[in-house]
Amino acid sequence: MKVGKMKIAVNNLTKRATPPLECWLGDFLFFACQLGIIKFFQGELSVAIIGEKRMAKLNEAYRKKKGSTDVLSFLYEKKKNYLEGELVFCPKVIERRGGQNGLKIKEEWRRDFVHGMLHLLGWEHGEKMFFYQEKILELMKKK
pLDDT tens column, 31-40 = 998 898 887 6
Side-chain-side CA neighbours of 86 within 13 Å: the count stands at 12
Please tell me which residue, 24 or 38, carries the higher pLDDT value: 24
- Separation CA 51–CA 143 (nearest Å): 31
Query: Which residues, at least 6 apart from 21, have a Cβ–Cβ distance to it below 8 Å?
Result: 8, 10, 47, 113
- Separation CA 94–CA 116 (nearest Å): 13
pLDDT at residue 3 greater than cutoff 70 = no
pLDDT grade, residue 5 (50/70/90)?
A: confident
Domain containing 101 equals 2-142
Q: What's residue 136's pLDDT? A: 98
Put residue 122 in one of left, alpha, beta given phi > 0 → left and psi -120 to 50 → alpha.
Answer: left
The total domain count for the chain is: 1
Q: How far apart are the first and last CA of the chain?
A: 21
Q: What's residue 4's pLDDT? A: 55
Q: What is the CATH number of the domain that holds 135?
A: 3.40.390.30
pLDDT grade, residue 66 (50/70/90)?
A: very high
* pTM for the full predicted model: 0.91
